[in-house]
Amino acid sequence: MTNSAAPRAIPVILDVDTGVDDALAILFALAHPGINVLGISCVAGNASLERVVENTLRILDVADAPYIPVAAGARRPLLEPARSAAHVHGEGGLGTLQLPPTDRRAEPISSVELMRKLIVASPHPVTLVGLAPQTNLALLLRQYPDVVSKIERIVFMGGSTTVGNATAVAEFNVWHDPEAAAIVLDSGVPTFMYGLDVFNQVAIPEHVTTALMHSDSDLAHVVGQLLGNRIALGSGRNADYSGLIGDAGALCALVDPGALETAMLPLRVQLSGYGRGQTIVDKRSHPGEDIVHGLVGEWEAAEVALDVDVDRYVHLFLDTLGLGSALALSR
Ligand code: BDR
Ligand code: CA
């Protein structure tokens, strides 16, 4: 008998460019009882589309997940060529992690068609979780605007209110396809930005990662390899240990928003010049001359994560994956 008082798991579609930390996010989402992964949409970003699809299917094997539909979407941004992030994620996209081939196959339909099908079929509004350049999401919203009313909101990892990583001011996912991000922000769907401000904070301590890497458990070993990716892969600026849970933090935000400080703020994407791909977040408490003199149009507002209780997400991440003992043992 089902308990009618139990909270319903949030129906989500993940849009990924797997990707070291996308892999962590997929593993977390599948393990968390509050998240119901309806399907996974793939886009070129951290690696080529083919690699992203293959990595995603292999990660589903690691999770021993039941059948979950996976589809291939855009192989390049709306305007620009695809630019891989091999210096961060390795040529294959999963750093130094080698996973066995899988029997799973992608759906014979595109990401846009899969997302539409899942959204239309869902009895409840669906949350789209964007962990990658937003090309697929923009194409969906442009091609099928009728789905807007059936989307609860779009939670995306991307952007920043401070520094960038792809450029000094632009975060990779938004920088990779700025027009797509602008379309998403302008779509009328409520958006939640889990940007670099919080992304760059949530790190698993190095001794915990080391313990995971040396664990006998397959899952712990994979998670440890992904978290410790930079040490193994790195040279120069990427050689340092980071241990970031990365995209998985956006899933933590979905199930434990109380660990974040957030604000509704006007947000837009810069589309030209060196600042191309920068998310400009208006944190002013009073209108400035640009607004007073009507020099700028109306900006969409998004809920923006500004700060995070790091310890809370570190515990949430490890506990959800059944790896909390690594934290305790390594103290
Ligand atoms: C984002 O870009 C990728 O490297 C990560 O997977 C994450 O989604 C961080 O800027
Ligand atoms: Ca990603």
Compute CA distances 53 → 75, 84, 111, 251, whole Å. 11, 15, 11, 20
Is 2 a member of any domain? Answer: no
22 CB within 6 A, ligand 1:
yes
Ligand 1 atom having least distance to the Cα of 21: 6
Is 283 a member of any domain? Answer: yes
Is 180 a member of any domain? Answer: yes
- pTM for this predicted structure: 0.95
Is 39 a member of any domain? Answer: yes
Domain of residue 130, CATH code: 3.90.245.10
How many angstroms is it from 25 CA to the middle of ligand 2?
A: 9
Geometric angle at alpha carbon 94, from 130 and 171, rounded to 5°: 40
Identify the three-state secondary structure at position 61: helix
250 CB within 6 A, ligand 1:
no
How many angstroms is it from 274 CA to the middle of ligand 2?
A: 23
Our count of domains for the chain comes to 1
Q: List, for the chain, all residue ranges whose pLDDT scores fall below the cut of 50.
A: 1-2, 234-238
How many angstroms is it from 201 CA to the middle of ligand 2?
A: 16
Is 321 a member of any domain? Answer: no
Model pLDDT for residues 258-268, shown as the tens digit of each residue: 999 999 999 99
* For ligand 1, mutation pick of 137, 247, 278 (most atoms within 8 Å of CB): 247
d(CA 140, CA 13): 12
d(CA 80, CA 158): 18
d(CA 40, CA 156): 14
Model pLDDT for residues 62-82, shown as the tens digit of each residue: 999 999 999 999 999 999 998
197 CB within 6 A, ligand 1:
no
Give DSSP secondary structure letters for 266-282. Answer: EEEE--SSTTTTPEEE-
